[in-house]
Structure 1
């Protein structure tokens, strides 16, 4: 891949000083930023911008792979091979003889396979939600938590619809209570498959556009 060769050249001793200074840790913020820039491109419907932002995302993958290669940890081939093998394992209804009737069944089976694979790994998985990243945006974290709970046999009382609606109605205007209210609203939305993070972002964008239009 040409991009891989360019990245290797940038990291060479006579390459770019900035690129040579980077680490997995220092690049974290750029990965997050590039994801959000791609989301903006998707929302705008600008296909050329989507191509550009996907290129920036691909650069992050290649950059981290180059760092891994230099340390002898992993290569870009390892990354590509890993995702290919995962896709085949997680789609037995396509690459095997498993019969899954609809998208919901596919998602449930995906989570079962993921849990089974995790238990087989050397590192210990602590529980149902161990795979939910701590650095997810807050509302998206709630969505993923409830999504995983909904697909499992573990149904805590706080996640029941009636309990959520009652707590929302009883909320007082205190910081802790408001935090709980936002959590409950996100969880209630997740029970219906609504990504509250995306909904709130959409509403925020509407407000932003309206205020910009009125203030011109």
Structure 2
């Protein structure tokens, strides 16, 4: 069933506002992108960016952009070393300040993502969604979302999807503003941030992470 926008904001204003804010962010903070890119190149090597396929609106696959946060160190067999070895203090700093997320603004400009929406999880999770859970893809995924301000990776899989569906079904301008304010406060206070290899465990025993940390766990800088 085709998703019916909750109101005029979602139908007519959300995408133009995303585009405007995305372009404005690049124009105003171009120097920050340049500084982070240069530091990543010096401290972590090349490539500066890494991409990963994610399901977007209507489960259309797109490439998510991020600054890399790990070294590309391998053992004698050519296998990547454990995360705790490849993750440097600089990489941790990028994650804790969410600066590694900056390139996702280009996903917003392209129309792959929105500023606010359900975080895009891994493609391999799609077969495990219930029929209801698939509806989290009725709208564009977001740079931040309701689940992230409600607890990030300190809430269960079921709670994450509950919040994602709540947002997808009741997206409003006021809700977006509140989520953005809470997101900024959480970034400033560093609340709800855990190690990249940590996550929550649901009742069925599946290992579940917030998508912000899943991608760091499986990140391959090559």
Query: So what's the TM-score if we normalise by structure 2?
Result: 0.26
Structure with more contact order per residue of length (Cα contacts < 8 Å, sep ≥ 6)? 2
Higher helix share: 1
Indicate the structure (1 or 2) with the bigger Cα radius of gyration. Answer: 1
Higher strand share: 2
